[in-house]
Copies of this chain bind each other. A is one copy, B any other.
Amino acid sequence: MPPDAKPAPSDPPSAPPQDALLARLRERLGARHVLTEATDLAPHLAEARGLYRGRALAVLRPADTAEVAFAVRACAEARVPVVAQGGNTGLVGGGVPQGGIVLSLARLSRIRAVDPVGATLTVEAGAVLADVQAAAEAAGMLFPLSLAAEGSCRIGGNLATNAGGTAVLAYGNARDLVLGLEVVLADGRVWNGLKGLRKNNAGYDLKHLFVGSEGTLGIITAAVLKLYPRPASRAVGFVGLPSPRAALALLERLRRAAGPDLTAFEVMPRFGLEIVLRHVPGAQRPLASGHDTYALVEFASPRPGADMAAELEAALAASLEAGLAEDATIGASEARNAALWRLRESLPEAQSREGGSIKHDVSVPLSRLPEFLERATAACLAEMPGLRPCAFGHFGDGNIHFNLSQPPSMDRAAFLAAWARFNRIVHDIVHDLDGSIAAEHGVGLIKRDELQHYGDPVGLDLMRRLKAALDPADILNPGKVVALSDDPPPALP
């Protein structure tokens, strides 16, 4: 049964109603917070990888939740779409406006409260993730969410996309770090779910509905986040392994050795380390010789007496002795730990310097990761000999960025023209292994039709019903995640 809601047209309405809307918004927000000049709009229309270019009537910069609510209500009454933006660092086109209004949360950036006893932090959606981390640290606590864009992404966007990153293994996804939310709904009402409770079964869990909905069901304006004790000791190791299967066996062994003290298990292939050493200034070879697969592992504990270096060293020595690992090193200082992390974190940058790359952000059940890597690598090489697969990432979470670097001699544009073909090959294997074609970056525009293609039809129908129930006029970020209308998203470049 299709939802009976009528989607709003993605083209803006004719001029006079637009002018009336903008005048109304200027009156409430102040003219300087309703941007319409092309140069002001430009950064909000661009998208991190340049895959899409948006268009918008205006960019709003409300000061607080009441102004957000006013703006959404005014847009809803004028039937003009609203696309919320935090740091606009997303990788799936989820923040790209296709007409209508961009609502920037950047001015809602206050840390409202820090409660070290309750281990919570209450923050507005526009706070930069690094500032949230710093506020937690200033209170002697840890907010563990950490990802490449942390200096510019904003917490509202992290929650709206259920961000992943490098701390998921020990602390979970962004969804797992939130206790309460304040959300502006599609009709401009405010849901106050800003509770800092560890247990709350008073009805349906509404916060999980909004987290990960990419601004299509509501606009998050504030959140109560969980804090943790800060690590007192950490150790970082870099391990050379013969295969992804060996990496999985090492993960299992370290999980049993360290339990919750195993805080990261990232993997990169031989090709990945080579291009980092080639392109990243200051990068130093961590192990004497080359290996098929590298694991970056971290142990960390808040226990004051913990000696993570000793525990990691013992665990890795046992793995070497068992013939599981081929070689390993442990950072002898925090500077050296950070240098080992940089080898992993600078891989996307190195890959972009190595030519065109076609990307996949996928997950499979942990125990099927080696099979996925073997099958997907073989299938892609069969499709295009000379291709250089670079599968890396959050191995411990079952989440791999299965990226493909172009054959060195090939034309970049000709390679990128094969994007959809490789998507089909890789996503077919992910689907066959009961995995997800959108593990941590979300759906946005770039995977909306892939989700339609692979998603369980009953699940997709449920998503459409939720969208229709919460945003029947399709005001909030229309056309993203699930489409109520049949408009195709813009084609890839």
Interface residue A117 (Cβ < 8 Å from any Cβ of B): yes
Within the complex, the shortest CB–CB distance from A453 to chain B, in Å, comes to: 11
List of B residues within 8 angstroms of A259 by Cβ: 228-229, 260, 301-303
> 1/0 contact trace for A199-225 toward B, CB 8 Å?
111111110110111000100000000
List of B residues within 8 angstroms of A442 by Cβ: 201
Interface residue A463 (Cβ < 8 Å from any Cβ of B): yes
Q: How far is the CA of A55 from the CA of B355 in the complex (A)?
A: 70
Interface residue A311 (Cβ < 8 Å from any Cβ of B): yes
Interface residue A459 (Cβ < 8 Å from any Cβ of B): yes
Interface residue A398 (Cβ < 8 Å from any Cβ of B): yes
Copies in the complex: 2
Q: How far is the CA of A184 from the CA of B336 in the complex (A)?
A: 53
Whether the pair A399, B199 counts as a contact (CB closer than 8 A) is yes
Which of A34-42, A341-349, A363-371, A373-381 is the interface stretch? Answer: A363-371
Interface residue A469 (Cβ < 8 Å from any Cβ of B): yes
Whether the pair A195, B302 counts as a contact (CB closer than 8 A) is no
Given contacts A206-B462, A462-B206, contact A443 B201 (CB under 8 A): yes
Give 12 A-B pairs besides A118-B367, A201-B212 with Cβ atoms closer than 8 angstroms.
A175-B205, A192-B456, A195-B434, A197-B434, A201-B440, A202-B443, A202-B447, A205-B208, A206-B462, A208-B209, A228-B259, A259-B260
- State how many residues of chain A have any CB contact under 8 Å with chain B: 92
Interface residue A119 (Cβ < 8 Å from any Cβ of B): yes
Q: How far is the CA of A447 from the CA of B304 in the complex (A)?
A: 44
List of B residues within 8 angstroms of A469 by Cβ: 465-466, 468-469
Interface residue A492 (Cβ < 8 Å from any Cβ of B): no
Whether the pair B470, A436 counts as a contact (CB closer than 8 A) is no
Who on chain B is nearest to A303 by CB? B259
7 interchain residue pairs of minimum CB distance: A208-B208, A469-B469, A259-B302, A118-B367, A260-B260, A117-B367, A118-B366
Question: Which residues of A in the span 240-293 have a Cβ within 8 Å of any Cβ on B?
Answer: 248, 252, 255-261
Question: Which residues of A in the span 450-492 have a Cβ within 8 Å of any Cβ on B?
Answer: 451, 454-456, 458-460, 462-463, 465-466, 468-470, 481-482
Most buried by B among A204, A229, A469: A204
Within the complex, the shortest CB–CB distance from A472 to chain B, in Å, comes to: 9
Interface residue A437 (Cβ < 8 Å from any Cβ of B): yes
Q: How far is the CA of A436 from the CA of B169 in the complex (A)?
A: 30
Within the complex, the shortest CB–CB distance from A317 to chain B, in Å, comes to: 14
Who on chain B is nearest to A248 by CB? B117
List of B residues within 8 angstroms of A192 by Cβ: 456, 458-459
Whether the pair A365, B118 counts as a contact (CB closer than 8 A) is yes
Most buried by B among A252, A260, A465: A260
Q: How far is the CA of A189 from the CA of B456 in the complex (A)?
A: 12
> 1/0 contact trace for A407-435 toward B, CB 8 Å?
00000000000000000000000000011
Q: How far is the CA of A196 from the CA of B189 in the complex (A)?
A: 36
Whether the pair A365, B115 counts as a contact (CB closer than 8 A) is yes
Whether the pair B229, A438 counts as a contact (CB closer than 8 A) is no
Whether the pair B482, A203 counts as a contact (CB closer than 8 A) is yes
A and B contact pairs by CB, cutoff 8 A, 27 listed: A115-B365, A115-B366, A117-B366, A117-B367, A118-B368, A120-B365, A162-B205, A195-B434, A195-B435, A196-B366, A197-B363, A197-B364, A197-B365, A197-B398, A197-B435, A199-B363, A201-B212, A201-B439, A202-B443, A202-B447, A203-B451, A204-B217, A204-B462, A204-B463, A259-B302, A261-B303, A469-B469
Whether the pair A191, B303 counts as a contact (CB closer than 8 A) is no
Q: How far is the CA of A324 from the CA of B192 in the complex (A)?
A: 37
